[in-house]
Structure 1
Amino acid sequence: MKRLASAWRTVPRPLWLIATLFAWLLATAWLRPLMAPDEGRYGGVALAMLHSGDWLVPRLDGLPFFHKPPLFYWIGAAAMAVTGPVEWAARLPSVLGGGAAATSLFFFLRRWTTVPQALLSTVVLVTTPFFFLGAQFANLDMLVAGCISATVLLAAGAAMAKERGEPWQALLAGAYLFAAAGLLAKGLIGLVLPAMVIAIWCAATRRLATLRLALWLPGWAIVLAVAGPWFIAMQMKYPEFFDYFVITQHFRRFASSGFNNEHGFWFYLPVLAGFTLPWFAWVFVPRGKDGTARPRLSDVDWLMWIWLAVIVVFFSLPRSKLVGYVLPALPPLAYLIAQRVLAGRVLETLLPKVRAMALGAAAVCIACVVAISILSSPPGTRLRLPAGQVVALGDQVLMLDSYYYDIPFYWNLRGPVLVSDDWKAAALDTRDNWRKEISDAGRFEPERAARTLIDHTQLAATLCVPRTTWLVASNTAQLTHPWLFRAQLVAVNDGAAVWRFEGSATSDPHCLDAAPAPTSGTNGDE
Structure 2
Amino acid sequence: MTAGWSRKDAGLFLLALGWLALTLGVRPLALPDEGRYVSVAWEMLTSGNWLYPTLDGLPFFHKPPLFYWITAASLSVFGMREWAARLAPYLGAAVAAFTLYGFALRQKGTTVARGALLILVTQPFFFGGAQFANLDMLVAGLIGATIVLAAEAGMNADRGRPYKALLTSAYLAAALGVLAKGLIGIVLPGMVIVVWLAWNRRLPLLRQLLWIPGLIVFLLAGAPWFVAMQARFPDFLHYFFIYHQFQRFAEGGFNNPMPFWFYAPVILILILPWSLWLPAALKNLRQNPEAKPTVRSLMWIWILGIVGFFSIPSSKIVGYVLPVLPPLAYLIAEGLARRRGGATPPRMPIGPAVLAGTICLGAIAANNIFNHKTDRSLSARIAAQRQPNEAVVFLRNQFFDVPFYLGLKAPVRIFDDWRATKTSKADNWRKAMADAGRFDPQRAAQLLFDVAQLDRTLCASPVTWLIAPKGAEGTEAFLKQIAPFATHEGTTVWRVTRGELAARGGCGQTPSGG
Q: 1:29 aligns with which of 24, 28, 31?
A: 24
Match of 1:3 in 2: none
Do residues 354 (structure 1) and 357 (structure 2) align?
A: no
Match of 1:380 in 2: 375
Match of 1:294 in 2: 287
CA distance in 1: counterparts of 2:153 and 2:28, whole angstroms: 41
Amino acid at match of 1:164: R
Do residues 316 (structure 1) and 327 (structure 2) align?
A: no
1:171-182 → structure 2 map (5 Å cutoff): 171-182=166-177
CA contact (8 A) 1:94 1:142 kept: yes
Match of 1:51 in 2: 46
Match of 2:301 in 1: 306
CA distance in 2: counterparts of 1:253 and 1:126, whole angstroms: 32
State the SS of the aligned residue for 2:387.
coil
1:250-261 → structure 2 map (5 Å cutoff): 250-261=245-256
Q: 1:427 aligns with which of 403, 410, 422?
A: 422
The alignment of Structure 1 onto Structure 2 pairs a total of residues equal to 509
Amino acid at match of 1:302: S
Structure 1 stretch 69-78 or stretch 207-216: which is displaced more?
Answer: 207-216
Do residues 438 (structure 1) and 433 (structure 2) align?
A: yes
State the SS of the aligned residue for 2:422.
helix
Structure 1 stretch 238-247 or stretch 333-342: which is displaced more?
Answer: 333-342
Match of 1:119 in 2: 114
CA distance in 2: counterparts of 1:325 and 1:515, whole angstroms: 57
Amino acid at match of 2:412: V
Amino acid at match of 1:71: L
Structure 1 residues 226 and 349, CA, compared in 2 at 3 Å: closer, same or farther?
closer
State the SS of the aligned residue for 2:42.
helix
CA distance in 2: counterparts of 1:248 and 1:187, whole angstroms: 12
Structure 1 residues 448 and 266, CA, compared in 2 at 3 Å: closer, same or farther?
same
Amino acid at match of 1:294: Q
CA contact (8 A) 1:262 1:319 kept: yes
State the SS of the aligned residue for 1:112.
helix
CA contact (8 A) 2:154 2:209 kept: no
Query: CA offsets, 1:335-359, max 9 Å, x none?
Result: 1111222223245599667112212
Query: CA offsets, 1:16-73, max 9 Å, x none?
Result: 3442232221111101111000000011111111000100110111111100000000
Match of 1:150 in 2: 145
Amino acid at match of 2:252: S
1:197-208 → structure 2 map (5 Å cutoff): 197-208=192-203
Match of 1:495 in 2: 490
For structure 2, the residue ranges without an aligned partner over 5 or more in a row are none
CA distance in 1: counterparts of 2:36 and 2:290, whole angstroms: 44
CA distance in 2: counterparts of 1:482 and 1:513, whole angstroms: 16
Q: 1:459 aligns with which of 448, 454, 460?
A: 454
CA contact (8 A) 1:255 1:318 kept: yes
TM-score w.r.t. length of structure 2: 0.93
Query: CA offsets, 1:303-355, max 9 Å, x none?
Result: 11111111000000011111000001111111111122222324559966711
Deviation at 1:467, TM superposition (A): 3.3
Structure 1 residues 322 and 286, CA, compared in 2 at 3 Å: closer, same or farther?
closer
Structure 1 residues 213 and 514, CA, compared in 2 at 3 Å: closer, same or farther?
farther
Deviation at 1:494, TM superposition (A): 1.8
Match of 1:103 in 2: 98
Amino acid at match of 2:129: G
Query: CA offsets, 1:358-396, max 9 Å, x none?
Result: 122112111111111221112311212438744434322
CA distance in 2: counterparts of 1:350 and 1:19, whole angstroms: 20
CA contact (8 A) 1:147 1:182 kept: yes
CA distance in 2: counterparts of 1:490 and 1:506, whole angstroms: 15
Q: 2:339 aligns with which of 336, 344, 348?
A: 344
Structure 1 stretch 232-241 or stretch 373-382: which is displaced more?
Answer: 373-382
CA contact (8 A) 1:46 1:76 kept: yes
State the SS of the aligned residue for 2:165.
helix
Match of 1:139 in 2: 134
Amino acid at match of 2:250: A
CA contact (8 A) 2:502 2:511 kept: no
Among the aligned pairs, what percent are the same residue?
46
CA distance in 2: counterparts of 1:89 and 1:33, whole angstroms: 12
Match of 2:387 in 1: 392
Amino acid at match of 1:241: F
CA contact (8 A) 2:36 2:401 kept: yes
Do residues 283 (structure 1) and 263 (structure 2) align?
A: no
Deviation at 1:297, TM superposition (A): 5.8
State the SS of the aligned residue for 1:439.
helix
Structure 1 residues 414 and 14, CA, compared in 2 at 3 Å: closer, same or farther?
farther
State the SS of the aligned residue for 2:495.
strand
1:205-220 → structure 2 map (5 Å cutoff): 205-220=200-215
Amino acid at match of 1:301: R
TM-score w.r.t. length of structure 1: 0.91
Deviation at 1:488, TM superposition (A): 5.1
CA contact (8 A) 2:123 2:272 kept: yes
For structure 1, the residue ranges without an aligned partner over 5 or more in a row are 1-7, 520-526
State the SS of the aligned residue for 1:443.
helix
Deviation at 1:237, TM superposition (A): 0.6
CA distance in 2: counterparts of 1:95 and 1:460, whole angstroms: 44
CA distance in 2: counterparts of 1:229 and 1:377, whole angstroms: 41
Deviation at 1:232, TM superposition (A): 0.8
CA contact (8 A) 1:9 1:116 kept: no
CA distance in 1: counterparts of 2:203 and 2:344, whole angstroms: 42
Query: CA offsets, 1:163-196, max 9 Å, x none?
Result: 2222211101100110010000000000110000
CA distance in 2: counterparts of 1:449 and 1:159, whole angstroms: 50
Q: 2:261 aligns with which of 248, 258, 266?
A: 266
What do you get for the CA RMSD once the two structures are aligned? 2.7
Match of 1:85 in 2: 80
Deviation at 1:103, TM superposition (A): 0.6
CA contact (8 A) 1:485 1:516 kept: no
